């Protein structure tokens, strides 16, 4: 396959699906940690979730792709809709949901001893997708392209994933998620463990992916939220109130014209 062929493949129009929650509340045992969170994460856009530690952002992400229920004592109310369909509908398998809604974590977690190629192919294997060698080669290459990593690793496909830099490892994890063509990619502070240059590379990858799938990113970096997202939700909790959305809207409005004083204080770094 030539590079020109590949660009054609990458640019094929896709159906992009959005995500929405309606009145989502969450508990750990008796303790309520999220309170009636309703949010639309538009198809093909990047939605940033911001707010202080402990306000329930990671819990919210885990609810979106049905990882929350794997946590002991976890409770849940409300609805999660992917392309208008209930992600928690009876009979819907959590593993199938996770195939459509991928997740990337703060610490890049490639299989360190496994080759770059096998790390991406592992995305297919974990999802139970069986393909022939030629198709697998194509999928690995396309995923690495989409993750903005291909040029850096095309000659190192047999090197161990653990030999890549931190930023490359994070993009490798993104490629692994992309291998199964998810509708949504959830990113939980994907750059918190990275240096500024690697952070930039990951942001460029997010920019590459925009429009191709729906992205939800948790970040503590206000500049990053402004650089990568089109809409933004500000979460807040206190010692006696569970996490809630204080304000959400276009990223520009939230940062330039916050309606709530607490949002204004938070985005200005005042707490
Ligand atoms: P954030 O990502 O915004 O920092 P989290 O979603 O991690 O917030 O946590 C929200 C609240 O839920 C916190 O008070 C945290 O201590 C609590 N929490 C998170 N995970 C668990 C768990 N597995 N068991 C019990 N409490 C938890
Ligand atoms: Mg968190």
Ligand closest to Cα of 105 equals 2
Q: Does the CB atom of residue 177 touch ligand 1 within 6 A?
A: no
What confidence score (pLDDT) does residue 40 get? 97
Q: Which atom of ligand 1 is nearest to the CA of 218?
A: 2
Distance 40 CA to ligand 2 centre (A): 20
Cα dihedral sign, 254-267-77-95:
positive
Q: Does the CB atom of residue 161 touch ligand 1 within 6 A?
A: no
Q: Which atom of ligand 1 is nearest to the CA of 188?
A: 2
Q: How far is CA 186 from CA 27, 247, 261, in A?
A: 21, 20, 28
What confidence score (pLDDT) does residue 271 get? 77
Q: Concatenated DSSP letters for the chain?
A: --HHHHHHHHHS------EEEEEEEEEETTEEEEEEEEEEE-TT-EEEEE--TTSSHHHHHHHHTT-GGGSTTEEEEEEEEETTEETT-TT--HHHHHHHEEEE-SS----TTSBHHHHHHHHHHHTT----HHHHHHHHHHHHHHTT-HHHHTT-TTSBGGGS-HHHHHHHHHHHHHTT--SEEEEESTTTTS-HHHHHHHHHHHHHHBTTBEEEEE-S-HHHHHHH-SEEEEEEEETTEEEEEEEEEEHHHHHHS-SSHHHHHHHTT--
Whole-structure pTM value: 0.94
- What's the average pLDDT block by block, 10 residues per block, for the chain (271 residues)? 49 80 98 98 97 98 97 97 96 94 95 97 91 96 96 97 96 96 97 95 96 97 97 96 98 98 95 77
Ligand closest to Cα of 50 equals 1
Q: Does the CB atom of residue 169 touch ligand 1 within 6 A?
A: no
Mutational pocket test of ligand 1: of 29, 54, 60, the residue with most ligand atoms within 8 Å of the beta carbon: 54
Mutational pocket test of ligand 1: of 24, 27, 30, 59, the residue with most ligand atoms within 8 Å of the beta carbon: 59
Mutational pocket test of ligand 1: of 58, 64, 236, the residue with most ligand atoms within 8 Å of the beta carbon: 58
Structure tokens at 15: 């159906």
- The ipTM is 0.99
Distance 33 CA to ligand 1 centre (A): 7
What confidence score (pLDDT) does residue 8 get? 46
What confidence score (pLDDT) does residue 1 get? 47
Residue with the nearest Cα to atom 6 of ligand 1? 56
Q: What are the residues whose beta carbons fall under 8 Å from the beta carbon of 63, sequence distance 6 or more?
A: 21, 24, 26, 34, 76, 80
66, 94 contact by CB (below 8 A): yes
Whole-angstrom Cα distance, residue 206 to residue 201?
9
What residue has token string 């952070």?
199
Q: How far is CA 162 from CA 42, 139, 193, in A?
A: 35, 21, 15
């Amino acid at each position: 396959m030539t590079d020109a062929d590949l660009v054609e493949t990458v640019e094929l129009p896709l159906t992009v699906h959005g995500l929405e929650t309606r009145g989502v509340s969450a508990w750990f045992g008796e303790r309520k940690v999220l309170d009636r969170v309703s949010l639309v994460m538009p198809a093909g856009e990047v939605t940033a979730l911001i707010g202080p530690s402990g306000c329930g952002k990671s819990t919210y992400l885990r609810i979106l792709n049905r990882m929350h229920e794997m946590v002991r004592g976890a409770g849940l109310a409300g609805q999660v809709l992917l392309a208008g369909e209930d992600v928690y509908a009876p009979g819907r398998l959590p593993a199938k949901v996770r195939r459509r809604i991928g997740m990337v974590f703060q610490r890049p977690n490639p299989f360190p001893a496994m080759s770059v190629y096998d790390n991406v192919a592992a995305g297919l294997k974990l999802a139970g997708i069986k393909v022939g060698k030629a198709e697998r080669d194509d999928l690995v290459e396309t995923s690495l392209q989409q993750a903005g990593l291909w040029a850096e690793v095309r000659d190192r496909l047999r090197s161990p994933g653990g030999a890549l830099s931190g930023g490359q490892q994070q993009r490798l994890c993104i490629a692994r998620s992309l291998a199964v063509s998810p509708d949504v990619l959830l990113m939980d502070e994907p750059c918190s463990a990275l240096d500024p240059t690697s952070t930039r590379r990951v942001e460029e990858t997010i920019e590459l992916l925009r429009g191709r799938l729906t992205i939800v990113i948790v970040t503590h970096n206000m500049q990053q939220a402004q650089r990568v997202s089109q809409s933004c939700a500000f979460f807040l909790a206190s010692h006696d109130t569970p996490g809630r959305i204080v304000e959400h809207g276009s990223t520009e409005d939230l940062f330039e014209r916050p309606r709530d004083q607490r949002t204004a204080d938070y985005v200005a770094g005042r707490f």
